[in-house]
Chain A
Amino acid sequence: AAGVIQSPRHLIKEKRETATLKCYPIPRHDTVYWYQQGPGQDPQFLISFYEKMQSDKGSIPDRFSAQQFSDYHSELNMSSLELGDSALYFCASSPRGRANNEQFFGPGTRLTVL
């Protein structure tokens, strides 16, 4: 079965640089969520999109922005990177029409800021 695809899988950046993470949801899933997971931490919700519109926003820094495109893929743009941005970034997708709101996670992008 098709799963959530994230790219790149690993990314190394210097402080103050920018990074773009991409997420391709499971086919026919119209909702995308972004989570950040620090070492030994639980995933923290950043932002979500439904039908290309932002549907909810969590603890996402102003330096980060995201959008969902017409083909439902999503991109998380991160600027002025800081050391503390080093983390695993997960994208999850769900078919919003389903009552149980099952979210399926991608393999993640490991971002390292030097």
Chain B
Amino acid sequence: QQQVKQSPQSLIVQKGGISIINCAYENTAFDYFPWYQQFPGKGPALLIAIRPDVSEKKEGRFTISFNKSAKQFSLHIMDSQPGDSATYFCAATRAGGTSYGKLTFGQGTILTVHP
């Protein structure tokens, strides 16, 4: 059972547009939600992360919106560029206990930004 559900599977955006990727989680014990960017054949790279005590976090063109009551969070990429074309994974984890740090990933979104 996928504990973190991500949508859409693929996304095509024009250069300069806004890319939006959504994730929903089930385990209310999760308390740290990172987003990773992965290029083919490379390791996932941490983009931005949020904790549930804030509803939004912005770093440059990347913004995470977090809705704790709905157990949903999303990544917004403003002014999308062709270089942003990659696979994006949302993830979740919780601190403490026996599962400290283990990341549970969403299924991934393949983003293509057309010039």
* A positions within 8 Å CB-CB of B: 4, 31, 33, 35, 41-45, 48, 50, 55-56, 58, 88, 90, 92, 94, 96, 99-108, 110
Contacts and interface: CB of A to CB of B under 8 A. Distances in A.
A90 B95 contact: no
A68 B102 CA distance: 16
A103 B102 CA distance: 9
Contacts, number: 70
B98 A56 contact: yes
Given A33-B101, A43-B89, A108 B32 contact: no
B5 to A, nearest CB: 11
Q: SS class of chain B's interface: helix, strand, loop or mixed? A: loop
Contacts of B107: 41-42
Interface string B5-45: 00000000000000000000000000010101000011111
B103 A107 contact: no
A108 B78 CA distance: 29
